[in-house]
């Protein structure tokens, strides 16, 4: 979780550089850019989507998995404590009956 703030600036700078470099081609501003504009739009979409994945989706999914792991540990730990208490009661009642 600490990697997001540390890597934010390099990721954004790389994405901005790529988008700005491909923008004239995507807007068909140069000579012969008509044939390459669709590829430029796709090239712009790649870094933007990967930036969103790296900075938003991956930390959200990591947090969700971490929450599920904590919930499962609580659930399993609580069940094992109940089972241990029940076993201890049964053992003590068996010892008292002899």
Cβ distance 47 to 26 under 8 Å? no
Q: Give the pTM.
A: 0.60
- In 3-state terms the chain splits into helix, strand, coil percentages (rounded to 5) of 85, 0, 15
Domain ranges of the chain: 3-97
58-81 pLDDT, tens digit per residue, is: 889 999 999 998 888 887 777 666
pLDDT tens, position by position, 3-49: 667 888 888 999 999 999 999 888 888 777 788 888 989 999 999 99
Cβ atoms of residues 51 and 13 within 8 Å: no
């Amino acid at each position: 979780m600490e990697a997001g703030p540390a890597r934010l600036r390099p990721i954004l700078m790389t994405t901005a550089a790529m988008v700005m470099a491909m923008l004239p081609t995507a807007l068909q501003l140069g000579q012969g850019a008509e044939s390459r504009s669709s590829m430029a739009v796709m090239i712009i979409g790649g870094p933007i989507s990967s930036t969103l994945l790296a900075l938003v989706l991956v930390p959200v999914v990591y947090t969700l998995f971490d929450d599920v792991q904590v919930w499962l540990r609580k659930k399993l730990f609580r069940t094992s404590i109940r089972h241990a208490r029940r076993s201890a009661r049964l053992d003590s009642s068996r010892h008292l009956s002899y």
